[in-house]
Chain A
Amino acid sequence: MPIQSLKGALRALLLVAIFFAGVWSQSSGVIDDFLWYLPDVQYLAIQHLWLTVISGGLAILVAIPLGIVLSRPSMTRWAESLMQVLNVGTTIPTLAVLALSMSFLGIGTVPAVFGLFVATLLPITRNTYAGLKGVDPALMEAAAGIGMSSTQRLLRVELPNALYVIFAGMRTALTINVGTVPLAFLIGAGGLGELIFTGIDLYDPVMMLAGAIPTALLAIVVDALVATVAFLMVPRGVNPSRA
């Protein structure tokens, strides 16, 4: 009972604080300052999302088949060493990857998409590979024993049972992707990074926040979106969130 009344008091306090924050921002004109950037934010957010959709989409299209190929029994000899290469690749900072891709592909959207693609590729491949390798060997034996071909085994048993892990990889990768897109501004690809970095350079916190807050919101929305798709697509029997 005391804990519940404490919670109630805290909630009331929070509401009051939000109210006064609103009053302050209205009276000090911060809201108007932010609204001044609204057209910029709209334009850049769409640019931002396109960078994510293209680089992330390409990464998914490449990473899942790559993970599947690596998990095939015939690839066992190469898979582990290749995964090690990919793991080492993950440790390279995205900024460095962007710089490297700029030095080969020049300035603009293409090197940015390429850099983001590389950074997103790795977590998805790794989770696809790990998810497929983690499928219970007994399931595979049962599937083979009742006469499924290797393709049927992949489509009806392996992928459905690995799907939750694969989606977890996509969720992490795409969220990181959205958060990394601002760096693409540095090699001339636009996105909300434009407001963030210009804001930093001009020592204009409102401008910086006008870029940073939408970026954070986009990351949350993308995360929720992928989570929803996972919730709907992963079969009920192997979906922990629907148990």
Chain B
Amino acid sequence: MIQLDNLTKVFDTPKGAVVAADHISMTVPSGEICILLGPSGCGKTTTLKMINRIVKPTSGKVFINGEDTTALDTQDLRRNIGYVIQQIGLFPNMTIEENITVVPKLLGWDKARYRERARELMAMISMEPDAFLKRFPSELSGGQQQRIGVARALAADPPVMLMDEPFGAIDPINRAVIQDEFLKMQQELKKTIMFVSHDIDEAIKMGDRVAIFREGKLVQHSSPDDLLAAPKNAFVESFLGEDRALKRLNLVKVEEVVSDEIATVSPGDTLETALARIDDYGYQNAILMVNDQRQPVGLITRAKARTTKGYCRDHFENVPATVTLEDDLRKVASLMFSQDATWLPCVDDEGRVCGQITQRAMTHHLGSRFRAREAATRNPDSAVKE
């Protein structure tokens, strides 16, 4: 757990005092990632760097796992906090192994233990130990270097990590890969992480909580979903962008919106049966055809069913796309737009149909938070509870 208590930094500049961080108080529960987000110069990096005293706080306190760090020796404090920076900062004079084992060595681990740890870490970041440990940072790509940067920060297994725009200098494709890898690692490691970003999409993807900063002040600190659904003021709203409802698509999984009621036909049914079912269920233009294992094999369109006679197996069209329960709504929306579809069948792990997801259900789900908020502003007594 990281707890900031009225943390303040005032820089004395020739133009007068500048308050870079103004009484920041917040708590990051153990095992969560908190993203500090805001435009440049908003104090997010200053706040982060006050935790490991790269920037010395003017006033205020930092608690780590309940312990006041003010009295701790700076070096001891830093050795127990993982630190990852945007410029990566691997030591070019050292091999990858030496880079990774710097902190364990500082902590006085014996040789066998830190060498073992280096191999363990390489496996964790999915890089082949034998191929990389003896190489130098300059021989690695940017993405590989930052993986090593993360491994170095994790080397002594610190409970807390500070990451200053760690993936900011990596190209978008590699960035997404590293973000995914990191989230997967975090599911096992459960570190308490403060993470500075200026990228709203990264914040939504990576953060359990997001803290928005403006001019040295903490404006809003909430879960990504709350943030997008209920921005506190006009600044947050404009920072999140006009498409913030669309950004929430990332946060919602298909399983939250899926309707398990879906009518199907089998290849042996007649087109009359299909038409009847389309009408019964009020489907607009088509019905799904499944095989014996309930795997989707085709679509019977309404137009075909009305104008033709015969069996479904002779008159079906291809299924445009299917989604799984773990997909997020952003992918679903993208598929719908590209297929010009208003609904998509949803399949389970074995590829069997388990429901459908409709545009209506998606807009309803996303809109419910906004409607609740409007209701709350009209009638402040009934607070938003979800």
Contacts and interface: CB of A to CB of B under 8 A. Distances in A.
Interface of A: 136, 138-139, 141-149, 152, 156-157, 160-161, 235-238, 243
B95 A237 contact: yes
B75 A136 contact: no
Contacts of A238: 92-93
Contacts of B137: 237
B221 interface: no
Contact of B85 (A142, A156, A235): A142
B93 A147 contact: no
Nearest to B73: A147
A237 B85 contact: no
B94 A146 contact: no
16 contacts: A136-B87, A138-B85, A141-B87, A144-B54, A145-B54, A146-B78, A146-B79, A146-B102, A148-B75, A148-B106, A156-B91, A160-B93, A160-B94, A235-B94, A237-B92, A237-B93
B260 to A, nearest CB: 51
Contacts of B91: 139, 142-143, 156-157, 160-161
Interface residues of B, number: 29
A237 B83 CA distance: 23
Contacts of A139: 89, 91-92
Contacts, number: 77
Given A145-B83, A145-B85, A147-B76, A157 B106 contact: no
Nearest to B86: A138
B52 interface: yes
Contact of A237 (B88, B94, B162): B94
Contacts of A157: 91, 93
Contact of B83 (A142, A149, A236): A142
B121 interface: no
B90 to A, nearest CB: 8
A237 B77 CA distance: 30
Given A147-B80, A161-B93, A237-B93, 15 more contacts: A139-B92, A141-B87, A141-B89, A142-B89, A146-B79, A146-B153, A147-B79, A147-B103, A148-B106, A149-B75, A160-B91, A161-B91, A235-B94, A238-B93, A243-B138
